[in-house]
Structure 1
Amino acid sequence: MLKGFKDFLLRGNVLDLAVAVVIGTAFTAIVTAFTEYVIDPLIAALGGDNEMGWGFQILADNPSTFINIGAVISAAINFIIIAAVVYFVLIVPANAAKKRFTTEPTDEKASAEDLLIQIRDILETQAAQAGQGGAHAKPISPDQQ
């Protein structure tokens, strides 16, 4: 039971996944800091004198009814940055490597037809050499007539 657990933990894809989670968490912290300290002040400068710039309060006497549109825009920018980095750093190189190192699948239908043609030609040659006529004889082409 412990050996199976050890084998599971030491499989390559489990270790790769653990590294990806750690790197992803660190990268998310960087992007979050960028949006918090660079993008959020820009949104606040464009929006006005509210905390995030583009927020409003539904009920004047209840601060829990504050709707913060700037935070939603900041989260969307955060998502777009992370998605772009994942795409351009992971997906594009992986697809290029996959295309470069994989072989094109052979056309099995064409190769099967070629094999059948070769078998037919061999059988016709053997029949002609054996002097057999009839159905196994090689057909006469129009230029041989």
Structure 2
Amino acid sequence: MLQGFKDFIMKGNVVDLAVAVIMGGAFAPVITTLVDSIIMPLISGLIGFPSFDQFLAFQVGDGENYVRFGAWLTVIINFLIIAAALYFVVVMPMNKMIEARNKRLGIAPDEEEVEPDVALLTEIRDLLAGGGTPKPGSAADKDPNA
């Protein structure tokens, strides 16, 4: 029983997930500060107010009950701004660095693996469309039971 638990915990995907959650928690303040201290003040300067909280707000019944569609709109816009900041500040530069490193080291981009049955069906489709014969060394020449 304990061995099964140990095997589960030590699987690579569980450890990777744990590291990703911890790194995400540590990185969240970086992106939040970027959005709150740089991007939102710029937006506030351009449109005059930093949030849409009072946009489409109306009172329901007597008292302090308000429906605020603007608060929901603010959260959606904040999400999109955070996603854009994360993409343009972290993901895109990281992809460029990986691409440059791979080019420098002569590592070719991964070619998509095609399953043998898909390759065979593609050849059959192409043969039916073109009326030709299979090329030597194609999937049609290989024994599927080998």
Runs of 4+ residues deviating >2 angstroms: 53-66, 68-75, 81-94, 96-103, 111-115
Alignment of 1:47-58 (within 5 A): 47-48=47-48, 50=49, 52=50, 54=52, 56-57=54-55, 58=57
Q: Report sequence identity in percent.
A: 30
Q: Which has the larger radius of gyration?
A: 1
Alignment of 1:68-107 (within 5 A): 68=71, 69=73, 71-84=75-88, 85-86=90-91, 88-89=93-94, 93=98, 99=109
Question: How many aligned positions are there?
Answer: 112
Match of 1:12 in 2: 12
Q: Distance in 2 between matches of 1:9 and 1:91?
A: 33
Measure how far apart 1:98 and its partner are.
7.7
Contact (CA 8 Å) 1:35, 1:77: kept in 2 or not?
A: yes
Deviations 1:32-84 (Å, cap 9, x if unpaired)? 11101111111111222x4x255544338968445155554332110122244
Amino acid at match of 1:76: L
* Residues 6 and 65 of structure 1: CA distance in aligned 2, closer, same or farther (over 3 Å): same
Match of 1:31 in 2: 31
Amino acid at match of 1:59: F
What SS is found at the alignment partner of 1:59? strand
CA RMSD in angstroms comes to 4.3
Unaligned runs of 5+ in 2: 120-135
* Residues 64 and 41 of structure 1: CA distance in aligned 2, closer, same or farther (over 3 Å): farther
Unaligned runs of 5+ in 1: 116-145
